[in-house]
Amino acid sequence: MTKIRLGTSEIGGTFYMQGEAVANYLRKLYEIDVHPFDGSSVACANGLYADQLDIGFSASNWVGRALRGEAPFEQPIDIRIVAPANVGPMFFVVRADSDLYKIDDMRGRRVSVNVGTSGMFQHIRSIFGVLGITFVDFEPHYLGFVDGADALRNGDIDAQWQCPIPNPVMTELANGTDVRVLEWAPGQLETVLDNVEFYRRAVMEKGCFRGVEHDTAQTGVLNVITTHALVDDQLVHDWVTAMIDNAAALGETLPLYKGLASLFEELKTKGASVFEPGGAKLHPGAWQAYKDAGFLT
């Protein structure tokens, strides 16, 4: 049986759950060899370059850098797009008894920004750069999601930068600790969206976890599934077809895929470029799968 070498985030992370959900539909055709990584966007792109992976997950902000060989990548990577994964809200969470309410309130405070090699850390750099917030303006703590949640729970930090929900770390934190989400000052979110091409508006719905008491707008990043230009067309075609055929079921079983069917529909009105961040093109196998399904002509 042909093997698909799949790169994801750490076990229990967003990309790990999404990768496993799709892999379950392909295990009758392929042996799926899952490789969980910290700093998954960079690790997956490097794994594609080294021919250690066939499919990998990435936040869209890393794709152009990988394609051009910009830091932290040491060489250009002939990366190609397979499919959208989701548009997920990223946010700062604090304890409910905190005196922090807005993004700007974190100045001078202890903030977990995730590990320095992670995609989530790079989002902090992008967002704070647009807003004119420097790393001198607060006390950064470079903690992974689990360690960051523990530190927030114990009062060792004041705020934690969290990855798109649902994720088990955030669910456990919210179920065991009274928390809430920081809000943007008027105009801040719009400034970020206007200045960073790979962000979209994402709404955290009331009740998405304990402590979210009303709908709140946050930055959302388009996460994508990637491959290398040399990966077999049929393998990529089969992966995309599995996602298209099971888009509704994926959204029902894993809320991270809730909007997947709607994302595919964007291909009909906006064309392939809507899922080609940073200049990376659709893999030929993916293109053919979308054409076969009537999304591209």
* Token representation of residue 34: 């899952």
CATH class of 3-86+222-292: alpha beta
When the pLDDT of each residue in the chain is averaged and rounded to a whole number, the result is: 94
pTM of the entire predicted model: 0.80
pLDDT in tens, 209-241: 999 999 999 999 889 999 999 999 999 999 999
Counting residues of the chain whose pLDDT is more than 70, the rounded percentage is 100
Place 122 in a pLDDT band, splitting at 50, 70 and 90. Answer: confident
What pLDDT is stored for residue 12 in this prediction? Answer: 80
Domain ranges of the chain: 3-86+222-292, 88-221
CATH class of 88-221: alpha beta
Closest CA to 80 of 265, 221, 293, 236: 236
| DSSP annotation of 206 | T
Please check whether the two domains, 3-86+222-292 and 88-221, share a CATH topology. Answer: yes
Helix/strand/coil for 182: coil
Residue 166 pLDDT greater than 80, yes or no: no
What pLDDT is stored for residue 291 in this prediction? Answer: 98
pLDDT in tens, 71-121: 989 999 999 999 999 988 899 999 999 999 999 999 999 999 999 877 788
